[in-house]
Amino acid sequence: MSVETLQFQGRKAAAELDTRIRVAKAALGKRAVILGHHYQREEVYRHADFHGDSLQLSRAAAELDAEFIVFCGVHFMAEVADILSRPEQKSILPDLQAGCSMADMASIAQVERAWQDLAEVLDPDSELTPVTYVNSSAELKAFCGRHGGTVCTSSNARRILDWGFRQRPKAFFFPDQHLGRWSGHQLGIPLAQMPVWDPELPLGGLTPEEVRNARILLWKGHCSVHQMFQPLHIERWREQHPQGKVIAHPEAAFEVCSMADAVGSTDFILKTVKAAEPGSEWLVGTEINLVSRLAEEVRAEGKTVEFMSPMVCMCSTMFRIDPEQLAITLEELVAGRPRNVIRVEEPTATQARVALQRMLDQS
Ligand code: 13P
Ligand code: SF4
């Protein structure tokens, strides 16, 4: 079979899936709403009723009336939608394999053990505010709810940590050390007072003295996508584009964020580049689907948008939500057979809601 024939068949299959999604969506009407995270591939993203970063989508999930919330994102996002929506609503993840490797880096068993270990050095419940990035399991959010802590996203981490310090003198930040470090740095905390807690080592690999001196304990977790960005990529690009601007997501390493002209959430990145003057040049350090779509959107204004790494690093779990999964999910809803319903059990749901509500109250 020729390449042209294969390409033709591929386009035909894609068009058929697109039509199936539109037909099923129309049949469901207001009963279903599709939420699409900015990292979703274009063929899925275009069908979403609401697009946003994690905070915007959490808010939407709390406010929507639809019977079905179809979450085109990853598992922890669908959990948040279930926790914040009403009991009769159903949160649905089109592919159950769409997890987040960073969220998996802090298990509840490891966190409970860390809290116990810390009790040998200080009184965690009066000295430490646990703050978890929204990229975490519902169990970890519930832990934060039980221990006077809260949740943050990439767009409010600094403000939420500030809230944490008004409750207790220190914070324990899970699971993304980079977001925690960058946010602490923005609050003026020296790097030396933000040691990394390694869950594999006794007392996190720290001395009692280091724990006592810490302002923020940073859980040893990271995003495998954003760790690909390196200061060298920025240096090389700036040599070629002396007038260009660099923008990065705060999940990138501290050295990368420090070199960037601007740092912020996925939505902040989109808004900043879209609002920039025509003809401007941008190097963007976040997931490739967002960067490619943005480059396409602003091309007509003469803006150039380049991906920060020479390697194609995409979030493979976000990419698991494909048009076929979305079509099947919607068609099954039309047929009265909801699949891949994400349900967070009690008491985890109530305790996690406490932590999430503390965040929403501060945002
Ligand atoms: P945002 O909250 O900026 O959308 O980020 C979510 C995420 O998973 C980034 O990797
Ligand atoms: Fe998780 Fe990183 Fe993917 Fe975001 S980009 S969902 S942090 S693995």
Strand pairing partners for 72?
A: 36
Nearest to 47 by CA among 323, 331, 249: 323
CA distance 308 to 328: 35
Following DSSP, what letter does each residue of 280-319 receive, concatenated?
Answer: -EEEEES-HHHHHHHHHHHGGGT-EEEES-SS----TTGG
> Is 61 or 129 the better-scoring residue by pLDDT?
129
- Give the pLDDT band (50/70/90) at residue 2: confident
pLDDT in the model for residue 10: 79
What's at 252, amino acid-wise? A
- CA–centroid distance, residue 77 to ligand 2 (Å): 11
pLDDT tens string 260-274: 999 999 999 999 999
| Cβ of 74 below 6 Å from ligand 2 | yes
Whether the CB of 317 sits within 6 Å of ligand 2: yes
Instruction: Please tell me the distance from the alpha carbon of residue 303 to that of residue 283, in angstroms, as a whole number.
Output: 11
Q: What is the pLDDT of residue 24?
A: 98
pLDDT for 19 beyond 80: yes
**Could you tell me the pLDDT band of residue 5, with boundaries at 50, 70 and 90?**
confident
Residue 93 CA to residue 227 CA, distance in Å, equals 26
Q: Measured from the CB, is residue 139 less than 6 Å from ligand 2? A: no
Question: pLDDT band at residue 53, thresholds of 50, 70 and 90?
Answer: very high
Check if 265 has its Cβ closer than 6 Å to any atom of ligand 1. Answer: yes
Nearest-10 crossing angle of helices 266-275, 288-298: 20
Ligand 2 atom at minimal distance to the Cα of residue 39? 5
- Whether 350 shows a pLDDT value over 80: the answer reads yes
pLDDT at 338: 98
d(CA 20, CA 327): 6
Which pLDDT band, with edges at 50, 70 and 90, does 331 fall under? very high
- Cα-to-centroid distance, 265 and ligand 1 (Å): 6
User: Which atom in ligand 2 lies closest to the alpha carbon of residue 103?
Assistant: 1
Q: How far is the CA of 57 from the centre of ligand 2 (A)?
A: 15
Q: What is the mean pLDDT of residues 15-22?
A: 97
Q: Note the pTM of the prediction, 2 decimals.
A: 0.95
**Which residue among 57, 80, 135, 178 has the greatest number of ligand 1 atoms within 8 angstroms of its CB, and so is best to mutate?**
135
